Amino acid sequence: MQIDTADLLDRFLRYVQIDTRSDDRSPTTPSTPGQWDLLRLLEQEMKKLGLTDVTLTEHGYALATLPATSKRETPVIAWFAHVDTATNLPGAAKPIVHRAYDGRPIVLPDDPTQRLTPETTPFLREAVGHDIITASGTTLLGADDKSGVATVMAAVRHLLRHPEIPHGPIRICFNPDEEIARGMTKLDLAQLGAACGYTLDGSGPGEIDFETFSADAAVLEIQGVASHPGWAKDVMVNAARLAGRFLAALPPDQSPERTDGRAGFIHPLECTASSEHAKVRMILRDFERDGLAAKRALLEKLAADLRAAEPRAIITLTFTEQYRNMRYWLEQDMRPVEFAQEAVRRAGLAPKSSAIRGGTDGSNLTQRGLPAPNIFCGMHEVHSQREWVSLQDMAKAVETLVHLAQVWEEHSA
């Protein structure tokens, strides 16, 4: 299968130069205006390609339909990719294409301390000879998830240019705010109208994911007692000190920096504090419901201990459910996963799966009744200045989607 890699690369380079960093403090959806810029661009590009039912909803979901070429009654499937980038770094990349990567260290020019080497980035060993795209060293590249966006657009374009390939109707959805766990909260599944979906938000070639973390957010707020420090004895209750005591009590062996594999964690994202008021924002992650519940219970105990130690402080701890492990639902019917694995094999790759130490929009979709495994699109070192992607791996993801459309059509018989 001949994928137009020049078009694929051109799309990706254009998308990553738009700053679409999301903002979890914003009450709007999308949470930032830059996401609207990319969504409107995608809306126009989908119309230009010739897709039907192109719609940009009031909450920033760019939807369209790739009409069927098969006369068989085939289930409607959907392809998803999110337009936002992570909150921790600027999102307007200056992309650099490293043609025919030769295996030597890649030094990012705007910050030479940022280096990619096969020793520190093992996946680079598998990409020798590939065209590697990075940012310049001070921003995200945005491959998470603009490599997914470009992959979907390229697959749609390929199928439109090859109407001889039989497939059923395919719905396209580009969505905002995945990075702040709001990616699917305002998507109308009835408006989408699909029986199964696939997120393009994975890493290495051949990866098909059907297990994610379960996730909660937590916020601890402490209201102290104000006093002039010169006359504070037995009067002041210092909220900043209490927040520090709480943070020090978090078990180090349950931190992200000390866990891997199937171990979950409690991660303090941010602490703002004065002597009068403090707030600690956290995320909780575990693959199992019981493990997540245990982490909630631990935080509740630490908050109770703090109240007992200083009863004059007002201490509140609140939790917000973010998403749940999609394995709980997908394992009841593994056909969407099996069809994706077959598509990977047809693309000449070996399918592989692992438990994602993170989440995808598929977690929320699957929990809501739309099974949505996750498919690779080549991204690596995400959420860092060293983020990179292989053009050849993105092309394999495009090929996988084209085969996936055919697999669904064949099984509809």
Q: Which residue out of 45, 84, 201, 209 is catalytically annotated? A: 84
Question: Tokens representing 281?
Answer: 């924002």
Mean pLDDT of the region 84-112: 96
Question: Tokens representing 244?
Answer: 């520090």
Q: Measured between alpha carbons, how far is 195 from 259 in angstroms, rounded to an integer?
A: 36
* Phi, psi torsion values for 89, nearest 5 degrees: -145, 155
333 is an active site residue: no
Q: Measured between alpha carbons, how far is 134 from 413 in angstroms, rounded to an integer?
A: 44
Q: Which residue out of 144, 145, 177, 178 is catalytically annotated? A: 178
Of the CA atoms within 13 Å of residue 277, those in its CB half-sphere come to 2
**Tens digit of each residue's pLDDT (9 = 90 or more) over 237-286:** 999 999 999 999 999 999 999 999 999 999 999 999 999 999 999 999 99
The structure's pTM equals 0.90
Q: pLDDT category, 201, cuts 50, 70, 90?
A: very high
Q: pLDDT category, 179, cuts 50, 70, 90?
A: very high
Question: Tokens representing 124?
Answer: 């680079």
8 A C-beta contact, residue 147 and residue 379: yes
Q: Which residue type is seen at 409?
A: E
**Tens digit of each residue's pLDDT (9 = 90 or more) over 202-247:** 999 999 999 999 999 999 999 999 999 999 999 999 999 999 999 9
294 by Cβ neighbours in 10 Å (0-12 / 13-18 / 19+) ranks as: middle
Q: pLDDT category, 359, cuts 50, 70, 90?
A: confident
**Tens digit of each residue's pLDDT (9 = 90 or more) over 25-72:** 999 999 999 999 999 999 999 999 999 999 999 999 999 999 999 999
Mean pLDDT of the region 162-175: 98
Amino acid 57: pLDDT: 98
What count of other Cβ atoms lies within 10 Å of the Cβ of residue 221? 16
Average pLDDT along the chain:
96
Give how far Cα 249 sits from Cα of 161, 272, 282, 306, 367, Å: 60, 17, 14, 10, 33
Question: Tokens representing 368?
Answer: 């809501």
**Tens digit of each residue's pLDDT (9 = 90 or more) over 272-326:** 999 999 999 999 999 999 999 999 999 999 999 999 999 999 999 999 999 999 9
276 is an active site residue: no
172 by Cβ neighbours in 10 Å (0-12 / 13-18 / 19+) ranks as: buried
Residues ≥6 apart with Cβ < 8 Å to 159: 66, 69, 165, 167, 170, 402, 405
